[in-house]
Structure 1
Amino acid sequence: MGNQKKTRVKEQYFIPLEVKEETIITKEFEDAPRMWSKIGNRKVRTILVPATREQYEAYMRPEWKEDKRQQRLAEKRMKQEEDKTLQGWDTPVSYEQLRETGYGFLGATEQDSLEEIVEKEELLEALRRELAQLEELDRTILEMFSRGISEAAIGQEVGLSQKGVNKRKHRLLAALRERLEAYR
């Protein structure tokens, strides 16, 4: 019993490579079997490329993160459907809905005064002017973000990394906040 050696079976890791018409496959993988694999939330035709554990985890971590974000978003939406009064940061609401819920839009008389309405209209007009002056890329980022699209998905759409989108978005929001300070 004491002389027995324990042998470790080395785990093998594979990265699924989606096979499309435009996918370039090297000679060593030309005859590799094609199979259906799940990448993120979708099933696609793939070949499995051998990789080290570090390569596998580095490749899959963003996929896992996005998958988990999508799961949380789906759970939140299901919860909101059960409880219609629950509003999240990604739930689009109208001005009328905000007034009904009383999130600071009502005056003492339960109605906005004419002055408050004019101030809000001026703020909206100033915001529209500021947004019109932004570069097309910046407007696209803000517009997609306002629809609840993830930074990673925005980055894929506009050709930036998720971190690049995050930094640009925060810089834009800070600049807009500063320019519209007079309207607060």
Structure 2
Amino acid sequence: MSKNNKKQQYLIPMEVTPETIRDFGIKKEDVVPAKIGNKIVSAIMIPTDDEELYLTYMRPIWAEMKREERSRRCIVSDGKGRLKRCEMDCKVCKKMKDGAPLSLESFFEETELEFEDPAANQCEIILTAILFEDLLENLRKKAPELAPIFEMLYDGKSQRTIANLINKPQSSVNDMIKRMRTILQQHISRDDLAK
């Protein structure tokens, strides 16, 4: 075979552990650091001249590396009021330090994003839970058969699902919900809640 017809050799990294090295008698000088996916591991390089085999093995590794690299990029304004991943070279970026934005302040300034106050959001969650418990307790007193329906609706179940769960026609569930609404509206319009 002439020098020009020689097939190209490809090296496929195969991760090894100290146990693998010991059990298979791998020479320590054959073990090299290699990046497989998003981590650097001890590996041996398996030679092959089968390009298809090499590509089949390496493509998922390359895709994982690309996803990881992309996920570390800053989110920046696209100049049209939307956000996009930064396409600049991270190594020379003034906003980057160890692969992360220097500050949230500069991120907010650039993107012009505003986030809700987490404490206000927490208060809303607590108030919703208190109101739900109050309404549920009222239903348990006035129409105990409707309380489970109210809980299922609160959990996001559809009328059809509720009908299947309680073995009643959907029209009956619809009537129960109307009755439940009337009871709860009367309860909500009480003077102590209206203040």
TM-score scaled by structure 1?
A: 0.40
Q: Give TM-score, length-normalised by structure 2.
A: 0.38
Question: Which structure exhibits the higher relative contact order, with contacts defined as CA atoms closer than 8 Å and separated by 6 or more residues?
Answer: 1
Higher relative strand content? 2
Structure possessing the higher radius of gyration over alpha carbons: 2
